[in-house]
Structure 1
Amino acid sequence: MKNQFCRIITLAAVFSVQLASAEPPQIAAIVNRDTITIQDLEKELKGQSGSLSSDRQMVLSQTLNSLIVDKLVVARAASLDLSKDPAFLREKQDTLNQFVFGQMYQKYVASLVNVAPEDAEKYYYDNKEMVYKIPEQVRVSHILIEPEEDKTISDPQRRKQEADRVALPKAKEVKKRAQKEDFAALAQKFSKDYTTSMRGGDMGYQKRGDLLPEIEKAAFAAKPGDILGPFKSEYGYHVIKVGDRIKEGYRELDDKLKQEIENKLRTEKTTQRNRAFLDSLRNEMSYDFNDELLALPETTKVQNSTWCVVVNKSDTLRAGEIWEEILNYSLYTKSGRMSLGDKKDFLKNKALGVQLLVLELLARQLGYYDAPETKQMLRKFVQQRGEKIIRQQAVPQYNPSPEEIRQYFDSHPDQFKAEYPLHVYHIIFDDSLTASAVRDSILQGADFVEMAKKYYPGQGDVKDVAYDLGYLARHEMPEGFYEAADQLEIGGVSPPVKTFLGYHLIKLIDRKKDQTLQEVTPQITKVLKEEHQKKAEAEWEANLKKGAKIKIFQKNLDKIDLTRLNSGENPAGSDKP
């Protein structure tokens, strides 16, 4: 008894130590009843390592806020009632059917199809001659010399003869040059076959029957590198260069081809198995047809609510769900008006709407819609769809009006002025008298650049270029200089302008125009959209946080080492390599 008591005390002590050492994860924030751990935050931070060198507090704040918003979106989505949203209900049903049918397809079709390696080998040898034989081929390049008809010759036959008379010598000359020069370059220059000329005339590998008979015979008899022709065709004259050739043979049955054949056989068997599966399902079902409706011409407009066919005495397809499919089938097959029997046969054996209904019936009978994995998928879909709807509320549709664009343009005049509007030359002098005398010479016809090179202070190399100030802005120049240049017409020369540097003669070479409203409308539209988006996102986020209980544990945030994360080390608490 005493020993048993001691064992109990010992176990209790060990258990207490384990509890004490298993500290709860450090918390970054609590959003209502959801927790964001430091490990969650570090994992998110590590995923954006490129920005970790930015302002520490800003990076932490933005990343944590993103996780908080995620939690709030999930919670808001979970509370959405989409039970009366027709678009959502259609999408939900389509997704449900797609999942369930996929499960059934995998069990009753795909999993029952087997293709063995020996099947691929048998297919290869059974079809080797018809499918895998490689015919003899020769690579051919050509230059097409197209006869150019003289439109001034009225007689068509004479016009054609004259064009041929001119084109043939040209083709012969091209052939002569091709025997010495680069064929591809000649093809790019002379060939009128624009589909091949840019490839140097290369037509690729040609098998027997692909080329004109006279060209084919010569090409297959020639040696690689031979220049042949000219050959006459309905298009003109062809000069041919023969390349290498592929001898007749068979494609090797290597691993790649085996895999191709296995995939082909699997697809064929799967299609056959799927068809047999659907046929067996259709044959097991009972069908009641609305003969009165189906006797009408398929082009008749009918009430969508009118019943068309009942499957297994339980599920009804109405005209709105199937009538258009009947009409489209009639038009596609060009069969003319379908008889009552034709329509019944189509509905039973071909109509997609009926096939889907039959699959739904079977799935319900077998319990697929109630299976745990189906319910799990559906919960995930509903949650994701809800989250998408919530996030879409932050991206409202917005296009600025012409009035808003005009208002922005008028209120930001400096933004659309040319940044460096004036291109000027200048000459600087120590005194105004010399400057005035040189200006007079320029106005009488002397060249401004020659005067600049003559009078500009400094060494020769400097004087040769220093007069050209390029395009400049007001803030770059001494007081009074820009204002004087701005008053000039293009080509005009100013009187001497005094600055702290001396006296300047200024010549205006060019003036950039300010951007017009029409030119900057796309730019302004983008700016206004971005501003509107930021405002909408801020309002959306504020609304999302309204009433939420959010607690941030700043002391725990202060312990996060961004340098460690930036170096690629694992987040705290992570045991991943």
Structure 2
Amino acid sequence: MKKFMNKKVLTIVGGIVIIALFVLVSAISGPKAAATIDGEKITTDELNTKLSQAYGDTMLETMINNKVVELEAKKEDVAVTQKEIDAEFDKLVEVYGGDEAMDAALEQNGVSKEILKQDIGDYLLADKLMREKIKITDEEMKTFFEENKESFNTEEQVEASHILVKDEKTAKEVKGKLDKGEDFAALAKEYSTDTGNAESGGELGFFGKGDMVAEFEDVAFKLDVNQISEPVKTEYGYHIIKVTDKQAAKEAVYEESKEDVKEQIFQQKFQTEYPSWLEDAKKEYKIETFLS
């Protein structure tokens, strides 16, 4: 349900469409027909050739880059664990709004979870390597904080859980049970269609204004702690919202924001320093390509 997607997520998933095309090609290449027009065949070999011409150089360059990073990581004894990959994947699932939404996005792009996790692993390996190389001083951090102080301020936030159902009749049925004192978390597990959080009792965590769709947000920010809303209609269905905590807006303090400041500076430097480091690293290897 959250409407944002951070740059790191976009970096990780940016290449999955091209990957999907090449997985498709490898699975179907051969003389059989990919399509026919009045009996005239377009063969899978012809499709393979066109896709290779259109995307081959890009995909090959990506694979070369990933291999160079892998070799450099071995030199420096840097590795990414499956646990780290799975944790990053779980973050993506949360950004997309749950398992169901992630599965739909992967299906739409023709990409399996295994391929996406491989892409995540490649990204995390490059990220780990560069964290050893990119230097960030205290002076840089303090300057960055002062120049971007407002962005580190904490806006008003609410912590909430919800029960999402498809129709108003079911929403009223659930609300009636809540009014009689039944447990919110138990009803979320039983009724909620939001697969991303139903098993956790509908927990959404803290969110600020602009993170949720307007109809949901307007109600959530007006509720008191432990208050439960009437059914709220949005594009996703009908929600019953329970606010469990609130945080007032707070002006940022440098000492409390240091980790966020450092991460933002790192991400900026990564975008500029990684390409130049990679080009220098590639000079250490004999790289030959044979695509015509």
Q: Normalising by structure 1, report the TM-score.
A: 0.24
Larger radius of gyration: 1
Greater RCO, 1 or 2 (C-alpha within 8 Å, sep 6+): 2
